[in-house]
């Protein structure tokens, strides 16, 4: 039955998406990437399709065989992982962006936070999954180096990705969340209670990679566009640090 | 309530996938159901268990098994790559996941209706010199078509709502693999509850239609029996 299903599906969908570029991107880049794709599409007529999610999920999918053309990851490890599997060539990657961790609280909350130790006074703190998702791993490393991790562990609400962590605070279901400053900037329902100084947190890097075996020639064109001036301006406007 | 083009695209993709999956499993499901209803020899229990497995396993477990079976580094994955066919994280993967998950529902329903047929009717037709295919088409199906239809509707409904296996083998790619169930999940995770509710309305309407059809078919079946 499996074989039959595959066969049937193959026959039905023989020629699909010939002109689409499929980009897997860290969910924190959603608004900026959609804006840039719109500009790219206006200029070239090429359609760009996105799958946004946690970089760990997306990398796992690419490893398994997802037909992505480009991957914008929120950490270096995911791209390293793909490179080791032969799915990203060294010449096909470039460190594109950086970001900063912030602590957000519901917009109406009066909580004051002056550093990691202050988080211990709160009850529920949303973070992207600190075991696998880049935003969560960055947050964990920051809290570990600040000596607050073990005290906070029982209070954490792990979320699938950084935007899900943001949504938990937006809904008022957590007292705070550790997210990127770019996430905080797109939400009206949260306010930034604390900006983690860049020197106190792990260095955040978003590498852009072209996936080997991509059958889409226009992917190279989009790769160049994403590293170009026009895209840099958009990333900067959304609060990213362009490398 | 205003539906966006994206909402309608998600609905269209969901229907397309569920329809494809149901059409693909229908002939196989009928054959397997017939085998289970008639076959008395060895191997029946094993086949029975295998067919029912997706019904009792967590959908995510089924998804992971399918993923491991088809991923790039597996034998099957290499074969597919050699043929130039992308399956994982394309809409074909959605069809595959929904097909596997809804297959047991189809088989169970069809099999029950086959078993309700008086076996003497089949034997009589056979002794009158008719071949098995003729008997199946002219005796078995006319007596059991309601069960087949009900099973088909059930399988289709299951296909519409499949989530756990789908997200593992097909991801959640808007416009390619994102069905209603996946889009509802994504939107609610993002805190976009209102947008998610639009899609929930679709699923409610589809569910009503599905249940209504099944109920009507079943009621007539009961009436015709009494």
In chain A, residues with a C-beta closer than 8 Å to the C-beta of B88 are 61, 64-66
Tell me the C-alpha distance between B30 and B36, whole Å.
10
In chain B, residues with a C-beta closer than 8 Å to the C-beta of A6 are 80, 85, 87, 92, 96
Picking from A53, A64, A168, the nearest residue to B72 by CB comes out as A64
Pairing of β A125-128 and β A176-180: parallel
In chain B, residues with a C-beta closer than 8 Å to the C-beta of A166 are 191
Q: What is the pLDDT of residue A14?
A: 43
pLDDT digits (tens, 9 = 90+) for A82-132: 999 999 999 999 999 999 999 999 999 999 999 999 999 999 999 999 999
Mean pLDDT across chain A: 92
Q: What is the pLDDT of residue A153?
A: 87
Determine contact: A17 vs chain B, CB below 8 A: yes
Q: Where does residue A85 rank: exposed (0-12), middle (13-18), buried (19+ CB within 10 A)?
A: middle
pLDDT < 70 regions, chain B: 1, 221-226
Q: How many CB atoms lie within 10 A of CB A134?
A: 29
Q: What is the pLDDT of residue A105?
A: 97
In chain B, residues with a C-beta closer than 8 Å to the C-beta of A12 are 20
pLDDT at A13 over 50: no
Tell me the C-alpha distance between A175 and B81, whole Å.
48
Q: Report residue A229's pLDDT band, with 50, 70 and 90 as the boundaries.
A: very high
Minimal Cα–Cα distance from A5 to chain B, Å? 6
Q: How many CB atoms lie within 10 A of CB A241?
A: 16
pLDDT digits (tens, 9 = 90+) for A27-46: 999 999 999 999 999 999 99
pLDDT at A7 over 80: no
Structure tokens at B15: 């229907």
Listed as own residue / partner, the contacts of A196-202 with beta carbons closer than 8 Å and 24 or more positions apart are: A196/A100, A196/A101, A196/A102, A196/A103, A196/A142, A198/A100, A200/A142, A200/A145, A200/A146, A201/A100, A201/A101, A201/A138, A201/A141, A201/A142, A202/A138, A202/A141, A202/A142
Q: Determine, for residues A9 and B24 on separate chains, whether the beta-carbon distance falls below 8 Å.
A: yes
Question: Which of A64, A106, A172, A214 is best to mutate for the B interface (most B CBs within 10 A)?
Answer: A64
Supply the pTM of this predicted model.
0.87
Determine contact: A10 vs chain B, CB below 8 A: yes
């Amino acid at each position: 039955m499996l074989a039959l299903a595959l066969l049937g599906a193959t026959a039905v969908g023989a020629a699909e998406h010939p002109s689409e570029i499929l980009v897997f991107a860290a969910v924190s880049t959603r608004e900026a990437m959609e804006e840039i794709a719109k500009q790219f599409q206006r200029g070239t007529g090429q359609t760009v399709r996105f799958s946004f999610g946690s970089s760990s999920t997306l990398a796992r999918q690419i490893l398994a065989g997802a037909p992505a053309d480009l991957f914008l990851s929120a950490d270096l490890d995911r791209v390293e992982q793909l490179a080791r599997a032969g799915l990203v060539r060294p010449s096909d990657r470039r460190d594109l962006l950086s970001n900063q961790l912030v602590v957000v609280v519901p917009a109406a909350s009066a909580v004051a936070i002056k550093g990691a130790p202050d988080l211990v006074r709160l009850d529920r703190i949303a973070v992207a999954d600190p075991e696998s998702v880049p935003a969560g791993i960055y947050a964990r490393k920051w809290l570990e180096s600040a000596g607050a991790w073990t005290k906070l562990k029982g209070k954490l609400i792990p979320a699938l990705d950084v935007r899900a962590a943001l949504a938990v605070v937006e809904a008022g279901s957590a007292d705070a969340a550790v997210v990127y400053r770019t996430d905080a900037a797109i939400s009206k329902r949260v306010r930034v209670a604390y900006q983690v100084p860049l020197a106190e947190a792990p260095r955040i890097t978003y590498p852009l990679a072209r996936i080997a075996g991509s059958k889409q020639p226009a992917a190279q064109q989009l790769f160049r566009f994403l590293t170009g001036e026009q895209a840099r301006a958009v990333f900067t406007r959304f609060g990213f640090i362009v490398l | 309530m205003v539906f966006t083009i994206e909402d309608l695209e998600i609905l269209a993709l969901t229907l397309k996938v569920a329809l494809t999956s149901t059409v693909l499993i229908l002939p196989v499901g009928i054959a397997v159901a017939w085998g289970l209803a008639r076959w008395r020899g060895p191997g029946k229990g094993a086949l029975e268990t295998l067919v029912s497995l997706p019904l009792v396993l967590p959908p995510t477990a089924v998804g992971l098994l399918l993923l491991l079976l088809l991923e790039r580094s597996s034998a099957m994955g290499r074969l597919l790559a050699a043929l130039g066919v992308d399956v994982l994280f394309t809409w074909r993967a959605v069809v595959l996941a929904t097909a596997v998950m809804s297959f047991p529902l189809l088989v169970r329903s069809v099999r029950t209706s086959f078993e309700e047929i008086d076996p003497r009717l089949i034997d009589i037709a056979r002794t009158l010199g008719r071949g098995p295919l003729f008997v199946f088409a002219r005796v078995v199906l006319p007596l059991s078509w309601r069960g087949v239809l009900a099973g088909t509707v059930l399988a289709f409904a299951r296909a519409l709502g499949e989530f756990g296996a789908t997200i593992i083998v097909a991801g959640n790619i808007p416009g390619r693999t994102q069905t209603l169930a996946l889009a509802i999940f994504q939107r609610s995770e993002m805190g976009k509850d209102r947008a998610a509710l639009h899609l929930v309305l679709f699923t409610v309407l589809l569910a009503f239609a599905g249940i209504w059809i099944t109920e009507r078919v079943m009621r007539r079946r009961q009436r015709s029996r009494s």
